Copies of this chain bind each other. A is one copy, B any other.
Amino acid sequence: MSEQIKAAVLGAGYMGSAITFPLSDNRIKVNLWGTWLDDKLVESSLRGFHPKLKKTLPENVSLYYWQDLGAALEDVNVIFIAVTSEGFVNIFQKMLDNIDRDKDYTFFKLTKGFVEYRGKIVRATEAAFDIFAEKFPDKELKIVTVGGPVRALDLSHRVVSASMYGLSDSKIKDTARSFCTDYYRIFINDDIKSVELCSAFKNIYAMASGICDGLYGGQKGGFYYNTVSFLFNQACLEIAEIVQAAGGNRQTAFDLAGIGDLHVTSTAGRNRKFGEMVGKGMDGHDAFKEMYGQGEYGEGYMALKLAIPWIKSEIPDITVKTPLLFSLNNIIFNKYEPAGEFSKLMSNLGV
């Protein structure tokens, strides 16, 4: 990209703040904008300490409070969207109200999950395309779905991380290339929809590892890894089935946005932590609320809540091929007892 990149990042939570590290290290000026829920994060970051990443943000970052969205978007040509899936539609609309109709922008969506949009449950980019077309009927939306495996904390420590970008336009590929550093490695996949689906479903399936830990961690000591790995494998297979049924390439599930991102999220993410609380016996809704109260958003819980009706509406024939997904739904939303539900699931699999 010959044009100088200047970026805005919407959402000053974990991932929004973490992505500023490779950007800043590439000497890209970044405006980091916090939503109305991020006031404390912005305030503390302005004083030199980001409370979630527990460190100072890098040098090329300017911070903006929610009231200053217009200023945060001034002069930028690249916009990262890193708000929660719940906030996505609203903030995408507000953002379009504040950009310059005559300029070209490339959007990078870090948000993962489904959104509710005009009474339907859709992928976040589907809503984005619709909103954009209504606002700018003569323009084409350029939006990239960014997948993992990237845990924000690790990225902010500049540890080698790989990220799968769903895109097919070679110019945008050049833009993406300019975000790379020796520690931030970008991989391109033109099966864009599948990258987006993988990112939503990996958050859901990562809860299974957490449930195992909550369930067996005390009782079975260190001797339940076989079960965790069995469920991990089952999750990969089910994501592949979902991707394929939705018209994508199942190989996308067997790559960074699928296997890789499920791996990191299952090992160390918030969805794993959420699952652990549920595995110990807490009701799904209560666990979500408790984490929310601590400023942690259980994205997998929210994704599952929307994924079930999405599947039933979009790819209803898949349900026999995704028994783990429905077990998770039974456990998290229908108060089924985790041990019994997992046992039933697993004794139905195999010869």
Residues of A at the B interface (CB closer than 8 Å) are 148-151, 153-155, 157, 159-162, 173, 176-177, 180, 182, 185-188, 216, 220, 222-230, 232-233, 236-237, 240, 254-256, 259-261, 263-264, 267-268, 342-343, 346-347, 349-351
B residues near A162, Cβ cutoff 8 Å: 226, 229-230, 233, 346, 349-350
Query: What 14 additional pairs, Cβ within 8 angstroms, besides A148-B229, A159-B226, A236-B254?
Result: A149-B233, A153-B222, A154-B223, A159-B227, A162-B349, A162-B350, A182-B343, A182-B347, A186-B351, A225-B268, A228-B267, A232-B259, A233-B259, A263-B263
6 closest Cβ pairs, A-B complex: A233-B260, A185-B350, A229-B264, A161-B226, A149-B229, A229-B263
List residues of chain B with CB within 8 A of the CB of A180: 350-351
Bound-complex Cα distance A188 to B157 (A): 43
Please measure, in the bound complex, the distance between the C-alpha atom of A259 and the C-alpha atom of B255, giving whole angstroms. Answer: 11
| Contact status A185-B349, CB under 8 Å | yes
List of B residues within 8 angstroms of A182 by Cβ:
343, 347
Q: Which residues of B contact A154 (CB under 8 A)?
A: 223-227
The 7 listed contacts between A and B (C-beta, < 8 Å) are A157-B223, A157-B224, A160-B342, A161-B226, A162-B226, A162-B229, A186-B351
Number of copies: 2
- A260: contacting residue among B155, B229, B256, CB under 8 A: B229
Most buried by B among A151, A187, A216, A263: A263
Min distance, Cβ A219 to any Cβ of chain B, angstroms: 10
Taking A225-B151, A350-B187 as contacts, is the C-beta distance between A233 and B343 under 8 angstroms?
no
Whether the pair A226, B149 counts as a contact (CB closer than 8 A) is: yes
Taking a contact as CB atoms closer than 8 A, the residue among B186, B222, B230 that contacts A160 in the complex is: B230
Contact (Cβ within 8 A) B177 A230: no
Report the bound CA distance from A293 to B147 in whole Å: 44
Taken together as a complex, chains A and B put the C-alpha atoms of A255 and B240 apart, in Å, by 11
Give the docked Cα–Cα distance between A255 and B118 (Å). 39
Asked if B186 contacts A350 (CB within 8 A), the reply is: yes
Asked if residues B350 and A226 are in contact (CB atoms below 8 Å), the reply is: no
Q: How far is the CA of A3 from the CA of B259 in the complex (A)?
A: 42
Q: Is the CB of A230 within 8 A of B351?
A: no
Expressed in whole angstroms, the Cα–Cα distance for A232 and B230 within the complex equals 16
CB-CB under 8 A from A176, the residues of chain B are: 351
